Amino acid sequence: MILIGTMNLTRTHDRGDFYCPTCAMIQTYRLRARRPWLTLYFIPTVPVGGPEFFVQCDQCRSTWDPTVLEMDQQSHETALEDQFHDEALRAAVLVVIADDEITENEINALQRVASHLLDRPVDREELGRLCSIAQQNNIVATNYVLTVSRRWSQQQRVQALQGMFLAASAEGEMGSEQIEVLTDMREILELTNAEFEAAIEEALTWEAV
């Protein structure tokens, strides 16, 4: 009986230092390659595919595409900040459409919030696309924020909450669905009652919206 199978072999090709996005500091890394091999009696004999290269942090063991080596700390921090702005804008859109509609005042408020509070200019076409995607995929604000906010800093959580509140309150009065979602945000964003109330009070004084 001939035993034939496949197995993946991983080898280290290089070592060095890099900025690890998970550790948020300079760490040592290993550049590794994973490649499938055909085995005969459990012995690797012939490679059956090309090598897949990846970078592994020696400290946290996170793995990354090799392009991570091309980015410095500033580049990573800028990319993370841009990602937060996108996520906070989507969260504000989801809160606005919690009542299944979006008004002209809410559209204008979302544009002002994006431009001034989140430093993320957005046009009406993009807002329409974000709304359509959310409605077609039944994405709700609480589930979305629960997922993405895990990597937000305390300041970003407050900033995102303020954006959600300012956009949802553009009509002067919020619907019951929007009030319920914003109330849930206190626990989702892990804010104390005092922090939650202070964030809303500060948002109310923001004259740009």
Token code pair at residue 145 = 């924020």
Q: Domains of the chain, with CATH numbers? A: 4-71 (no CATH), 74-203 (1.10.3680.10)
- pLDDT bin (cut points 50, 70, 90) of residue 146 is very high
- pLDDT bin (cut points 50, 70, 90) of residue 48 is confident
What average pLDDT does range 4-25 have in this prediction?
85
Q: Is the pTM higher than 0.75?
A: no
CB atoms near residue 139 (< 10 Å): 15
The per-residue pLDDT for 89 is: 94
Helix, strand and coil percent figures for the chain, each rounded to 5: 55, 20, 25
Kindly give the residue spans of alpha helices, DSSP state H, lying in 138-175: 141-148, 154-168
Question: pLDDT tens digit string along 173-195?
Answer: 888 999 999 999 999 999 999 99
Q: For 40-49, 82-91, 130-139, 146-155, which range has the lowest pLDDT when averaged over its residues? A: 40-49
pLDDT at 1 over 70: no
- Single out the residue of 154, 159, 163, 155 nearest to residue 190, CA to CA: 154
Q: Check if the beta carbon of residue 88 is closer than 8 Å to that of residue 163.
A: yes
